[in-house]
Amino acid sequence: MLQINCPFCGTRAEIEFTCGGEGGIVRPLNSEAMSDAEWGDYVFMRKNPKGLQHEQWRHSSGCGRWFNALRHTVSYRFEATWKIGEPVPAEFAAVVNEGAAV
């Protein structure tokens, strides 16, 4: 079984976690001024890369807290996890900030 490192509780079984999708999505400040197409892009359009992806995860059967993760979408391997509000681990900052798949 896959093991995921919760930055609050430590390493636990995959079954305890829920994926919340792509991380780093910021809600638009002027949502009332957006067109339907722009709002649809914000709500539904995601990158879905083949490679490393910044995601948000919840330890749903544990502490219940949300955290950031960098996961490889092909191998499913977790490269890093960190608390929301903390800086991205330095070795992965370029991947997360650029949104590029590696």
Can you read off the two tokens belonging to residue 45? 């359009």
pLDDT tens per residue across span 3-32: 999 999 999 999 999 999 999 888 999 999
Q: Which of 62, 53, 57, 54 minimizes the C-alpha distance to 13?
A: 62
Q: What pLDDT score was predicted for residue 91? A: 86
Tens of pLDDT, residue by residue, the chain (102 residues):
899 999 999 999 999 999 999 998 889 999 999 999 999 999 999 888 899 999 999 999 999 999 999 999 999 999 999 999 999 888 888 777 665 444
CA distance 94 to 40: 28
Q: Work out how many domains the chain is built from and give that number.
A: 1
The CATH code of the domain that includes 70 is: 3.30.2270.10
Look up residue 88 and give its DSSP letter.
P
pTM of the model: 0.83
Structure tokens at 30: 């002027």
Write down the residue that tokens 């191998």 correspond to.
75
Give dist(CA 70, CA 49) in Å, integer: 12
